[in-house]
Structure 1
Amino acid sequence: MKYDATAAAVLDGVGGESNVSSVVHCATRLRFKLVDRDKADKAAIEATPGVITVVESGGQFQVVIGNDVPTVYAELGKISSLTGERAQTADAGPKGNILNRAIDLISSIFSPILWALAGTGLLKALLALVVTVGWLDATTQSYTILYAASDALIHFLPILLAVTSAKRFGANQFVSMAIAGALVYPDIMALNTGDPVSFFGLPVVMVSYVSSVIPIIVAVWVQSHLERWLHRVLPSTVRNFLSPMLVVLVLVPLTLLTIGPATTYAGQGISNGIESLWSLSPAVGGALMGGLWQVFVIFGLHWAFVPIITNDLGVQGYSLLTGPLFAAVLAQAAAALGVFIRTRNAELRQIAGPSTVSGFLAGVTEPAIYGVTLRLKKPFVYGVIAGAVGGGIAAAGGSAAEGFVLPGLITITSTINVGSFTMQLIGTGVAIALALVLTLTLGFKDLPASAPAAVPAEDVATNDTPADDAATATGSAAAAGGGTATMTRTAVVEVGAPLEGRVIALAEVPDQVFSSGALGEGVGLVPTSGEIHAPVAGELVSVMPHAFGIRTADGVELLVHVGIDTVQLKGQHFTTAATQGATVAQGELLGTVDLDGVRDAGYDPTTVVLVTNTSEVPSVVVTDPGAVQLGSTVLTVVQ
């Protein structure tokens, strides 16, 4: 059987991905729930090589494959987003230098769990606050329960990383969880007493795997290669149960004997190295982290610090790298606040206000950076300077967070118990004040108070503009006779597809804000290519890694938004090739997106192309659903 061909034929036979509500597999069958049963071609599926038969029962459309069903299911995941197990193998990521590939690897493993880590870290910070102010006694059972809720995820971090690593390396995630579970198994941890431990006479160097990071990632990488080899050599009749058994049998002892101790000591060495450098000049280290952190975020380099920080949390319960980050983040929020106060541009103020709130409270600065400070350049620099000053002060006091938190005002209590909390407050306060004062006093080049208004149709005759070429005079006789000439104009804007793929109706886009038409009329596009091109010629009024706003010379305003909720990726898997304020030609490259990376991170890459000022145009004509080539017309706007 050619598993990929079988999977493709079955998917086509059930009516395509859009006709599948869900699909799972059991020991022998692919079990589909279909949106419209009439679209499925049962006879064609049964004629597919590798398919034994088709059974319809219990509301399911069951395709019987036999022992090879897990492999066909995995192939199904490579050509669709139905299985939730789309694997990105190590050599399938973007090519480039070692640093870029390492950052891509780290981000794909850690990004799916970051929000859970941040949420539980926030709970731990709040718990530290209520204990400090005396609202809760740390010796009570209530505290024990709440602390377990806040600490369980970081305690059992190897199991979570087993899942994300398995998806990244293409391994069986449940087998990976079994390996990770063995590492933190209570009886195994009980062996870590300092007494000699052996495995069939081989000495085992026991280390603590609670909260560990590197050992399980390396173990799962080895697992992925072992599984692929076993898949080639084992008969399909025994492969499904014998492969997991052999993998666990080999890798659990192997990890305890070699992988675990080696990688644990390597991680501890990195942490000790950073701590020793920090001890030479904490203020300098803190200034560098505080000043450069948001720069790292822009280029995605901050991912390189994530495994170091999480490893520090597991080894010593805190990471000195986190202390200066509060100043770095809150300085950018303060710079956005300065822009909000000083700008006269209503649109910019609407962006700056909410982004300031999210930056201060939640530590989410991407809206402030991409929408405000970096857009204006100088406020971003002010934030970097203030972050460096405040970060140096905080680090000089030895401040650090006890949990994995997004640095913000409501999580700053996570630093209460490490170093000087007073120095942390002073450093953060200085960063906020300095960024705000610099923005208000030194200023920036503000955007125009409002966008130039389109020339009213009735005024076209008295305005010498390029649009006059599109004007059509009516009532000429009246004009010739000295009466008033009524002028109208009709301009047609053809909006091209920004990516190759398949057009779907806007109502089918899996986001209510887009599908409801609340942001404007347009279409959805399921992309098959990662190059994003300008759908029209015009000015780029807004540029974010995943979204572009374009205004044409005729005043048509368009939004190209790549993916659903992809703002959460913080630019990861996106590369921008255009700058805000630039004038672009239709078809010009705006950026690129790693579609597999977006899907692997758990996000839908469905793209929307919207006319956002629909109320100002007479008509928007939408193309019919179906395959579309890059640049082919998807919308026709009549002015």
Structure 2
Amino acid sequence: MATEDKNRATAAAILPLVGGAANVSSIAHCMTRLRLGLHDRSLVDDEALKAVPAVMGVVEDDTYQIVLGPGTVARVTPEFEQLVEEGRAAAPAPAPTSGPAPDPASASADELAAQGAAMKAARKAKNATPLKLFLRRIANIFVPLIPALIGCGIIAGLNGLLVNLGWLTSVTPALAAMASGFMALIAVFVGYNTAKEFGGTPILGGAVAAIIVFPGVANIEAFGQKLSPGQGGVLGALGAAVLAVYVEKWCRRWVPEALDVLVTPTLTVLVSGLVTIFGLMYVAGEVSTAIGTFADWLLSNGGAGAGFVLGGLFLPLVMLGLHQALIPIHTTLIEQQGYTVLLPILAMAGAGQVGAAAAVYFRLPRNESIRRTIKSALPAGLLGVGEPLIYGVSLPLGRPFITACVGGAFGGGFIGLFNQLGDKVGSTAIGPSGWALFPLLDGNHGLGTTAAIYAGGLLVGYLAGFLATYFFGFSKDLLAEFNVSQEPAESTVAATGGPMSPTTKEPAGV
């Protein structure tokens, strides 16, 4: 089957299971997930969706999210959008039929699936606090920027390699321009997305944020010093755009409709622009500098310990929804230093998860249902998509989730130690982890050294997660309960097509 036909078939399989075209209110995608706004959540057939071969899992958050994996989601989404348009033009799609009843032979994995779903629901309820909802909105601003960060980051790495080798010297300046152009104007994109997220006019948010990167600000003095183009960076752009939204909304309430088209955009840019130039740029610049200084200090002085704590706590942070606060910090470090030293350490949480899943596989030799889930999800886990393993395996089992955190802690400590010794390991973009992070690695001692340290951290994370789970991940009762023969039914295997089990659950955002 051609790639286009395969992607369209996946989209066609998903659409009726989410209630048809008439039930879809919005469509978007991020790195790994198709995000759908739905009119009626009750029309969704979760179990049948999880049985679609290309679907790695589902999660319900502010939108209904279907995990398809990197690359696949970007190809399936346009096909899905086209099918929705066609369905709306014709007639509402019929409500989905129920999927096949679960086979008793897969009860063990289904029990884990049910526990994972319950934990997801509890986590969602706990995450619906004002702080976490705010952090989610911040994440919504930066997530659409990730593809450009990745593309430009890889080009920057390629350019650095060619410069070091002295190859294609006539091409490297062009590559440098491609890699740096987006980062030079990232504040504008942040301003645009911020205004869109907070309910303002996106282009006005971008216009105010553009002041930050305009070279002419070098002629302006604020707080007794000359401003620098880019001062305040993405944090300044975020603050400027939020201010612009509030000014715009105030204008919409008080400016007469006949004058709105002239007065509102003018006052929005004027007021927000003046506050940005004579306040926000300086304050945000100080905050951005402090973030970079603190990150360098933390890893230079407490490298191994800091890496151990960060790597060990990242999965719980994901469960609490607090990891979204790190996204602007990563972006600020990339903007300042060219890479974020935090991401490779946090990526070790995924390594611990992979090691823990491998240990569960060996500790449950008779449970073919869970073992099939692990075999299907491990390749994605190695590439940094650890979501199916978390809710489908480790978290419902309890102890293996804790021992996976132990693996992440040791992997993070390994990389943190080398940072303390002067070998910085960073990523030029956010989003990927696992093996997928190798093309984005950067540091202060060459790509070979940086890649070797990161690979060492992965191996340590795998090994520590495996050993901790193998020896401490199961109580006697838990082992007796799950280490029983559970051969999945032929119908279940046929439905999944082999690549994923129906129990590969929803993401935790790793």
| TM tier relative to shorter chain | 0.5 to 0.7
Residue identity in the other structure for 1:372 = V
Q: Distance in 2 between matches of 1:134 and 1:167?
A: 39
Matched, 1:197 2:213: no
- TM-score computed with the length of structure 1 as normaliser: 0.51
Find the counterpart in structure 2 of residue 497 from structure 1: none
Q: Which AA in structure 1 matches 2:438? A: I
Match of 1:124 in 2: 153
Distance verdict in 2 for CA 1:543–1:244, change over 3 Å: same
Report the Cα distance in structure 1 between the residues aligned to 2:127 and 2:466, rounded to whole angstroms: 38
Report if the CA contact (8 A) 1:207-1:261 is conserved.
no
Q: Tell me the distance in 1 between the aligned counterparts of 2:23 and 2:440.
A: 48
Mapped contact 1:211–1:314 kept (Cα < 8 A): no
- Once the two structures are superposed, the pairs formed by residues 254-403 of structure 1 within 5 Å of their partners are 254-343=275-364, 344-361=366-383, 363-398=384-419, 399-403=424-428
- Inter-partner Cα distance in structure 1 for 2:293 and 2:411: 24
Taking the aligned partners of 1:126 and 1:332, their CA distance within structure 2 comes to 30
Which of 425, 429, 438 is the aligned partner of 1:412? Answer: 438
**Aligned mate of 1:235, from 231, 235, 256:** 256
- Aligned mate of 2:230, from 198, 205, 209: 209
Per-residue deviation, 1:283: 0.8
Question: Which of 156, 163, 175 lines up with 2:192 in the alignment?
Answer: 163
Query: Mind listing any 5+ residue stretches in structure 2 that lack a counterpart?
Result: 1-20, 27-124, 490-494, 497-501
Counterpart check, 1:180 vs 2:216: no
Distance 2:25 2:468 in 1: 54
Q: In 2, are the aligned partners of 1:285 and 1:392 still within 8 Å (CA)?
A: yes
1:104 and 2:140 aligned:
no
Give the Cα separation in 2 of the matches to 1:104 and 1:138. Answer: 49
Q: Kindly, what percent of the aligned residue pairs are identical?
A: 24
The 1:218/1:131 distance shift into structure 2, 3 A limit, reads closer
- Relative to structure 1, is the Cα distance of residues 364 and 97 closer, same or farther in structure 2, using a 3 angstrom cutoff? closer
For the Cα contact (< 8 Å) 2:339–2:427, is it kept in 1? Answer: yes
Q: Matched residues in 2 for 1:326 and 1:436: separation? A: 16
Shift of residue 346, structure 1, vs aligned partner: 3.1
Instruction: Please give the per-residue CA displacement for 1:38-76, whole angstroms capped at 9, x wherever unaligned.
Output: xxxxxxxxxxxxxxxxxxxxxxxxxxxxxxxxxxxxxxx
Distance 1:20 1:167 in 2: 21
Distance in 1 between residues matched to 2:381 and 2:299, nearest whole Å: 27
Aligned match for 2:465, one of 416, 429, 435: 435
Question: What's the offset of the Cα at 1:452?
Answer: 10
TM-score, structure 2 as length reference: 0.62
Q: Within 5 A, what are the aligned runs for 1:600-639?
A: none
> Structure 2 residue aligned with 1:450, among 482, 486, 507?
486
- Structure 1's 273 and 123: CA in aligned 2 closer, same or farther, altered over 3 A? closer
Q: Which structure has the larger Rg over C-alpha atoms?
A: 1
Distance 1:273 1:417, change over 3 A: closer
Q: Distance in 2 between matches of 1:544 and 1:365?
A: 10
- Quick check: 1:283–1:393 contact (8 Å CA) kept in 2? yes
Evaluate the alpha carbon distance shift between residue 144 and residue 410 of structure 1 in structure 2; reply closer, same or farther with a 3 A threshold. Answer: farther
Change (3 A) 1:135 1:354: farther
Alpha-carbon distance between aligned partners in 2 of 1:430 and 1:241, rounded to the nearest angstrom:
61
Query: Residue 19 of structure 1: CA displacement?
Result: 11
CA distance in 2 between counterparts of 1:224 and 1:255 reads: 13
Matches of 1:110 and 1:204 in 2, distance apart? 33
Once residues 323 and 283 of structure 1 are traced to their aligned partners in structure 2, the CA distance between those partners, rounded to angstroms, is: 13
Q: Give 3-state SS (helix, strand or coil) of 1:372's partner.
A: helix
1 CA distance for matches of 2:127 and 2:403? 32
Aligned-partner Cα distance in 1 for 2:360–2:146: 31
The CA RMSD over aligned residues, in Å, is: 3.8
Residue 427 (structure 1) shift: 2.6
Query: 8 Å contact 2:192–2:206 — kept in the other structure?
Result: yes
Letter in 2 for 1:296: L
Sort the Cα spacing of 1:112 and 1:356 in 2 relative to 1 into closer, same or farther, 3 A: farther
Provide the rounded CA distance (Å) in 1 between the counterparts of 2:164 and 2:372. 38
Cα–Cα, structure 1 residues 138 and 323, in superposed 2: closer, same or farther, change >3 Å? Answer: farther
* SS of structure 1 residue aligned to 2:435: coil
- The question of whether the paired residues in 2 share the 8 Å contact of 1:331 and 1:386 is answered with yes
Give the conservation status (yes or no) of the 8 Å contact 2:159–2:176.
no
Shift of 1:111: 3.1
Contact 1:163 1:177 in 2 (8 A): yes
Please tell me whether residue 221 in structure 1 is matched to residue 246 in structure 2.
Answer: no
The structure with higher relative contact order (CA 8 Å, sep 6+) is 2
CA–CA distance in structure 2, aligned partners of residues 338 and 387 of structure 1:
15
* Cα distance, 1:125–1:289 mapped onto 2, change above 3 Å: farther
Unaligned runs of 5+ in 1: 1-16, 23-95, 454-517, 520-540, 546-566, 572-639
CA distance in 2 between partners of 1:313 and 1:138 (Å):
26
Consecutive aligned runs of 4 or more in structure 1 exceeding 6 Å deviation: 19-22, 96-99, 133-136
Deviation at 1:376, TM superposition (A): 2.1
Question: CA distance change for structure 1 residues 288 and 243 in 2, over 3 Å: closer, same or farther?
Answer: same
Q: Is structure 2 residue 445 aligned with structure 1 residue 423?
A: no
Equivalent-residue separation in structure 2 for 1:172 and 1:404 (angstroms): 28
In structure 2, C-alpha distance between the alignment counterparts of 1:197 and 1:452, rounded to whole Å: 70
- Offset from partner CA, 1:135-168 (integer Å, 9 cap, x none): 9757635344445444444432222221321133
* Residue in structure 2 matched with residue 86 of structure 1 by the alignment: none
Q: CA deviation at 1:443?
A: 5.7
CA displacement at 1:243 relative to structure 2? 0.7
Question: Residues 142 and 328 of structure 2 are in contact (CA less than 8 Å); yes or no, is this contact kept in structure 1?
Answer: no
TM-aligned CA distance change 1:542 to 1:432, over 3 Å? closer
Instruction: Provide Cα deviations, 1:344-366, integer angstroms capped at 9, x if missing partner.
Output: 333323322232211212x1211
Shift of 1:394: 0.7
Distance verdict in 2 for CA 1:102–1:307, change over 3 Å: farther
| Contact 1:138 1:144 survives alignment (8 Å) | no
The Cα of 1:131 is off from its aligned counterpart by 5.1
CA contact (8 A) 2:138 2:324 kept: no
SS in 1 for 2:171: helix
1:130 and 1:203, CA in 2 relative to 1: closer, same or farther beyond 3 A? closer
Distance apart, 1:542 and its partner CA = 6.1
The superposition leaves residues 363-395 of structure 1 with CA deviations (integer Å, 9 ceiling, x where unpaired) of: 121112111222222332222112211211211
Q: Is the Cα contact below 8 Å between 2:370 and 2:393 reproduced in 1? A: yes
Work out whether residues 109 and 161 of structure 1, in 8 Å CA contact, stay in contact via their aligned partners in 2.
no
**Letter aligned with residue 486 of structure 2:** S
8 Å contact kept, 1:401–1:415? yes
Native 8 Å contact 2:403 2:472 kept in 1? no
In the other structure, the counterpart of 1:479 is none
- CA 1:222–1:129 in 2, change beyond 3 Å: closer, same or farther? closer
Residues 229 and 441 from structure 1, CA distance in 2 versus in 1: closer, same or farther, beyond 3 angstroms? closer
